[in-house]
Structure 1
Amino acid sequence: MRIESMRINYPNSHFTAAAVDGTEGNPMTRRRAGMHAAAAAAALALAALPLAACSSDAGTEGGTTTITISSWYEENVIGTTIETANEILAADDIELEYTQIPLDQYNTWLSTQLASGEGPDLIMDGASFPARVAAGNLVDISDDEIVSNFTPEGLALATAADGAVYGVPSYGWFSGIFYNKALFEEAGVEVPTTFDEFLDVSDQLIDAGITPLAAGLADSDKAIHSLMGYLENAYYHNGDGSPEIDTEFAYGETTLDGNWNDALDTWSELIHHGVLTAEMIGTPMTQAQAEFTGGDAAMYISGPWDYQVFVDAGLDFGMFAHVGDDAENQWLLGGPAASMGVNVDSEHPEEALIALHALASQEAMQATIDANPGAFSYYNGVEGSFPAEYDLVAPLLAEGHVAVGWDRWGVNMPAQTMLDTLTKGLQSVIGGQQSTDDLIAQLDAQADSIRY
């Protein structure tokens, strides 16, 4: 399979001499000392690991050791983070080399690399990070000081059942529903706070000749966010279920059949009301985003990664949470965006650990948050800003009302496989090829075949 990727290199020359030389009070200098101490402490354990040749072009050239890392993040999301880490690493003659892989190809690409004993020196993954842990692809960093800088919630996807920690989070992601204030005003509707209100608002928008929601379902996860956002609000927290059901499901102690049925049937009203349509199955995400930014649709499901796109388009917009049955107990969809750890097959394990420290430093974590307005960090002491467009959801972020079911699945199954099945299944439901009960049965069967 041919991967079209973008490589972003940030040379050490971007780092000023003053920062490299440092002073006693320089936070980067102090952090380098801590990184060296941690690396030395872990060196014996790392050296004992079986190392295989890595498929990346990592190596030492001209005295500089190149450490590779890949993800699906575009430059506007992760560029300043890589640059900040490289500034820290300059004094150690280490340089991070970042490669972007398209999101829809990333899981297959990384799985193939790791199965061959190769892959980047630093492994970065989202919902499938627990699968990388279960496969033995990552170095145990439980005793490394880096772990203490993050909250337990941030470490959840990188923590095995026995409590061992294999990675740290990049930042916290969340999704809600962006809305065009001008189109809402044109249709005479208010921001919905319950699912019934959401259906009513959508009906009124349609009556006013306005497309209620732009959703490119051909190559995106917008349908999953719609469904799981509803479930988080109307089932897991304000309905018949609880988040523990997902953990029980992951371990095979219960099924989705008998739990999700009524909730999914209610959610499918979005199809009957013309909010989610069969035409969207053939619509790419870029087209749907253009519909929203162009003022041709009133709502768009997304998160902070698209914030700047809407600002640049000159939209007057805001965001509200996914909705359910209780306007006073709302939840955003979200969790750790991606976790990062050291590949056990890295040819440069000590340098990779130092690079992980740089990426997970307070400076780099702050750079990530600053580059993604509205994002939040699991690093203790790193705080982001919430622009006015997030006024309706900022209180939920402050309360910690951010969760997602597939993170809970990840404790005992490769969640990405479930998400792939759910993506195709929802396309079939929206297209009228199968019922919500059929989809639930399909998910149960898939889970039975992939649990660890």
Structure 2
Amino acid sequence: MEEEKTDMKTTFRRTGLALVALSAAAPAWAQDPVELTFLVDNGPPSVAQAEALAAAYTELNPHVTFDIELRVGSIDGDNLVKTRLATEEMADIFLYNSGSLFQALAPTRTIVELTDQPFLDVVSDSFEAVVTADGGVYGVPIGPGFAGGIMYNRAIYDELGLEVPLTWDDFMANNAAIDEAGYVPIAQTYGDTWSAQLLVLGDYFNVEADSPGFAERYTNNEAKFATDPAALRSFERLEEAYEAGYFNEDFGAATYDDGIRMIATGEAAHYPILSLAIDPIAEQYPDAVPDIGFFAQPGDDPDKNGLTIWLPNALYVPQASENIDEAVDFLAFVASQAGCQAQIDAGQVSGPYLIEGCQLPEDVPQATRDLVPYFNDSDLNLPALEFLSPVKGPALPQLTVEVGSGIRSAAEAAAIYDEDVKKAAQQLGLPNW
């Protein structure tokens, strides 16, 4: 890592600074007051980012204030967003996923297009690609990029003389040594079903490495999880970890908060999770931060070791908003170095911000430092499947819970998931389905 600051940006197509707070051109006293409604999920990082950005923007534009609304996450939150868009009752600005879930919002009919806005000049191409529909760009990034992989306790690794594994066999060998030493090898938290997906979703770099072009074939209904050996292997790895007895005894009821506690306190050595988990660890267990590391989920070939990455969520403006100009101007602020800095100041930094010129401070957590080599080399990272294909079925959390609990085999779950995604693809009107 460089002495001054770590620049973790991706490759950009253009240079220049974002246009920030266009409305500041007129004196605040001459402008009518505006209150923007702002819908975000109720996760602490999302709330902190929204509050920090709103406060920073209002400081520059005193006539604009914000009413931040919270919604639940998961499927219920997805349905609420879709319903409010469909009924034209959406907030002036809303935070939602990029990638496949964004495509399901029918953005060309419901969301304001931003393609010609000059502030997109400093947004990374890789992010724009996952908020693009029919050639138009519809969102700006909020929060950092992050990854799916294995969070691990470095103190346990040091104690047992273990090295970061580059193959699945090495990973399982580490788990055997950890189990022998009396620690939980792998924390699993099926009380929050979304977390059960990570050993499958975080494996996508390995799928593409062993089955190049899988995402395109999958989108075209030419490849299946149940019949492509590399894709099926993702479900099989989850099955193998369960059958080896490497999970915590209460894995069926344990929650994400329990997983955070286990990895931070050294009760568990590994937690397959998103790298964003460093934020709650830093908040709840600050002394543990130096002991927490992160590595890519290993595949079968040490020469094909790389990281499955997630691009940030996005902010969007609905077409039904009565304050489109002000809302879009707020997005211009978010897509600027000042907006990026407001987010960095709001809490721990768990990954790169995809705004040109936005640099991370020197004192980032070790787990974030571990991501640097992967993000800095395009050959060492690949977006998760949901960013490469619009096809994603809603049943994956439950199916991975079943595989990870021994209720259903990997092969059976993969076949059921293939049927699940068929429905989603047909709803999107994709050809060949």
Q: Would you call these one fold, judging by a TM-score over 0.5?
A: yes
Farther-moved stretch of structure 1 (390-399 vs 137-146):
390-399
- Amino acid in the other structure paired with 1:427: V
Q: Is 1:299 matched up with 2:270?
A: yes
> Residues 81 and 433 (structure 1 numbering): CA distance in 2 closer, same or farther, change over 3 Å?
closer
Deviation, 1:78, is: 5.1
Deviation, 1:308, is: 4.2
Does structure 2 retain, via aligned residues, the 8 Å contact 1:158–1:166?
yes
The partner residue of 1:255 within 207, 224, 248 is: 224
The partner residue of 1:450 within 417, 424, 429 is: 424
Farther-moved stretch of structure 1 (342-351 vs 301-310):
301-310
> Residues 217 and 87 (structure 1 numbering): CA distance in 2 closer, same or farther, change over 3 Å?
same
Does structure 2 retain, via aligned residues, the 8 Å contact 1:173–1:304?
yes
Secondary structure of the 1:66 match is strand
Query: Residue 117 of structure 2 aligns with which residue?
Result: 144
Query: Residue 10 of structure 2 aligns with which residue?
Result: none
Query: Residue 71 of structure 2 aligns with which residue?
Result: 101
Query: Residue 31 of structure 1 aligns with which residue?
Result: 20
Does structure 1 retain, via aligned residues, the 8 Å contact 2:35–2:65?
yes
The partner residue of 1:408 within 362, 383, 388 is: 388
Query: Residue 14 of structure 2 aligns with which residue?
Result: none
- Amino acid in the other structure paired with 1:374: S
| CA displacement, residues 231-275 of structure 1 (integer Å, 9 cap, x when unaligned) | 322x212x2x12x32233224343333212345335522122123
Deviation, 1:32, is: 2.8
Secondary structure of the 2:245 match is coil
| CA displacement, residues 353-381 of structure 1 (integer Å, 9 cap, x when unaligned) | 12222222221123324533231122111
TM-score when normalising by structure 2: 0.81
The partner residue of 1:120 within 85, 88, 91 is: 91
Query: Residue 331 of structure 1 aligns with which residue?
Result: 306
Secondary structure of the 2:149 match is strand
Q: Is 1:343 matched up with 2:343?
A: no
Deviation, 1:76, is: 4.7
Secondary structure of the 1:255 match is coil
Query: Residue 7 of structure 2 aligns with which residue?
Result: none
Secondary structure of the 1:176 match is strand
> Residues 71 and 291 (structure 1 numbering): CA distance in 2 closer, same or farther, change over 3 Å?
same
Q: Is 1:432 matched up with 2:406?
A: yes
Does structure 2 retain, via aligned residues, the 8 Å contact 1:265–1:436?
yes
Secondary structure of the 1:393 match is helix
Identity of aligned residues (%): 21
Determine the C-alpha separation between the residues in 2 that align with 1:83 and 1:189: 40
Determine the C-alpha separation between the residues in 1 that align with 2:71 and 2:201: 25
Secondary structure of the 1:351 match is helix
Farther-moved stretch of structure 1 (420-429 vs 185-194):
185-194
The partner residue of 1:399 within 358, 369, 377 is: 377
> Residues 116 and 272 (structure 1 numbering): CA distance in 2 closer, same or farther, change over 3 Å?
same
Matches within 5 A, 1:37-48: none
Q: Which runs of 5+ in 1 are unaligned?
A: 1-26, 38-61
- Amino acid in the other structure paired with 1:310: I
Farther-moved stretch of structure 1 (195-204 vs 378-387):
378-387
Matches within 5 A, 1:142-221: 142-160=115-133, 162-170=134-142, 171-221=144-194
Does structure 2 retain, via aligned residues, the 8 Å contact 1:331–1:403?
no
- Amino acid in the other structure paired with 2:36: I
Determine the C-alpha separation between the residues in 2 that align with 1:286 and 1:75: 12
Q: Is 1:318 matched up with 2:293?
A: yes
Does structure 2 retain, via aligned residues, the 8 Å contact 1:193–1:323?
yes
Determine the C-alpha separation between the residues in 2 that align with 1:392 and 1:152: 23
Does structure 2 retain, via aligned residues, the 8 Å contact 1:113–1:119?
yes
Query: Residue 198 of structure 2 aligns with which residue?
Result: 225
> Residues 278 and 344 (structure 1 numbering): CA distance in 2 closer, same or farther, change over 3 Å?
farther
| CA displacement, residues 380-424 of structure 1 (integer Å, 9 cap, x when unaligned) | 1112244444444321121141421122222xx4x3xx2x31111
Determine the C-alpha separation between the residues in 2 that align with 1:121 and 1:225: 33
Determine the C-alpha separation between the residues in 2 that align with 1:32 and 1:288: 41
Query: How many aligned residue pairs are there?
Result: 390
The partner residue of 2:36 within 64, 67, 73 is: 67
> Residues 132 and 284 (structure 1 numbering): CA distance in 2 closer, same or farther, change over 3 Å?
same
Determine the C-alpha separation between the residues in 1 that align with 2:420 and 2:25: 45
Does structure 2 retain, via aligned residues, the 8 Å contact 1:232–1:404?
yes
Query: Residue 376 of structure 1 aligns with which residue?
Result: 352
Does structure 1 retain, via aligned residues, the 8 Å contact 2:186–2:248?
no
- Amino acid in the other structure paired with 1:99: E
- Amino acid in the other structure paired with 2:152: Y
Does structure 1 retain, via aligned residues, the 8 Å contact 2:403–2:410?
yes
Does structure 2 retain, via aligned residues, the 8 Å contact 1:167–1:340?
yes
> Residues 275 and 112 (structure 1 numbering): CA distance in 2 closer, same or farther, change over 3 Å?
farther
- Amino acid in the other structure paired with 2:141: P
> Residues 153 and 441 (structure 1 numbering): CA distance in 2 closer, same or farther, change over 3 Å?
same
| CA displacement, residues 16-65 of structure 1 (integer Å, 9 cap, x when unaligned) | xxxxxxxxxxx99x73348879xxxxxxxxxxxxxxxxxxxxxxxx9421
Determine the C-alpha separation between the residues in 2 that align with 1:167 and 1:390: 25
TM-score when normalising by structure 1: 0.78
Q: Which runs of 5+ in 2 are unaligned?
A: 1-16, 429-433
Determine the C-alpha separation between the residues in 2 that align with 1:325 and 1:286: 31
Deviation, 1:202, is: 0.5
Determine the C-alpha separation between the residues in 2 that align with 1:356 and 1:375: 20
Farther-moved stretch of structure 1 (163-172 vs 192-201):
163-172
Determine the C-alpha separation between the residues in 1 that align with 2:414 and 2:299: 20
Secondary structure of the 1:124 match is strand
- Amino acid in the other structure paired with 1:31: V
Deviation, 1:313, is: 4.3
Query: Residue 11 of structure 2 aligns with which residue?
Result: none
